[in-house]
Structure 1
Amino acid sequence: MYSHVVVGAKEIAVAQRFYDAIFSHMPLDEQGIDKFERPFYRQGKQRFIITLPINGQPATAANGGTIGFELASSEAVYAWHQAGISNGGSSAESAPHIREDGKCVAYLRDPTGNKLCAFYQTQGE
């Protein structure tokens, strides 16, 4: 549904290591560095981009914001969460689990503090 998401980072290399790890659990069509020297990840027409803030101010996480990713299996959700923890992220909200509605969910904060969610609908689609 989105065309692109851009998150600010305090340190591009630290953020890229984190995002390379979690995106390894998702099918991507392309990843690389764009003409503005920003790491990006593309699936179809959707792009996820990491950048230093253009205004020169410090990068901060969105208060109340969450970026959600749909993954292909519950196993991928758990692996995504572990990859994030192992690469500078921290667990957010609750441990990965399957909710009563059948949705397997995991929440992370990236090294800058942006909140991310991975999910897979296990039943009741």
Structure 2
Amino acid sequence: MQNYVTLGANDHETSCAFYDAVLATINWRSHMNFPSWKAYSSEGLGEGLIVWVAKPFNSAPATAGNGAMVGFAASSREQVDAFYAAAIANGGTDEGAPSVRAYGPNWYAAYVRDPVGNKLAIVCTEAV
């Protein structure tokens, strides 16, 4: 069984444009695309965690889960900054600009919401 997360999309093209731009900053790419479904993975290899962006099967509008968040790892603070900037430039909204957080040593993170309202975190814990 492949580990995966599914994020709802109301306007599939808008959501995929958002994720194409944002995930490219951490070297994630799409590796599979179906009508109303698109899969992303690290380096586009289809291995490890897969993130699916999809219209809900029940045809009801996609909504963000209260308390749900998907966190992505960054290898540098520059990637955190780029992820955040790409998110804001592609229809995302700010939930916490890039900065050092008190969650752990060297915890540098940013938080955004995608066009549907799904919350995303980007975190780098590498020492400066």
Scaled to the shorter chain, the TM-score interval is 0.7 to 0.9
Aligned to 2:58: 55
CA contact (8 A) 2:101 2:107 kept: yes
CA contact (8 A) 2:84 2:97 kept: no
Counterpart of 2:110 (choices 106, 110, 115) is 106
Tell me how far apart the structure 2 counterparts of residues 117 and 23 of structure 1 sit (CA, whole Å): 12
The share of aligned pairs that are identical, in percent, is 32
The TM-score with structure 2 as length reference comes to 0.86
Does residue 118 of structure 1 match 2:122?
yes
Q: Say which SS state the counterpart of residue 121 (structure 2) adopts.
A: strand
In structure 2, the gaps of 5 or more residues are: none
Tell me how far apart the structure 2 counterparts of residues 66 and 37 of structure 1 sit (CA, whole Å): 22
The TM-score with structure 1 as length reference comes to 0.88
RMSD: 1.9
Aligned to 2:24: 24
CA contact (8 A) 2:3 2:50 kept: yes
Q: Shift in Å at residue 49 of structure 1?
A: 0.6
Q: Shift in Å at residue 36 of structure 1?
A: 5.2
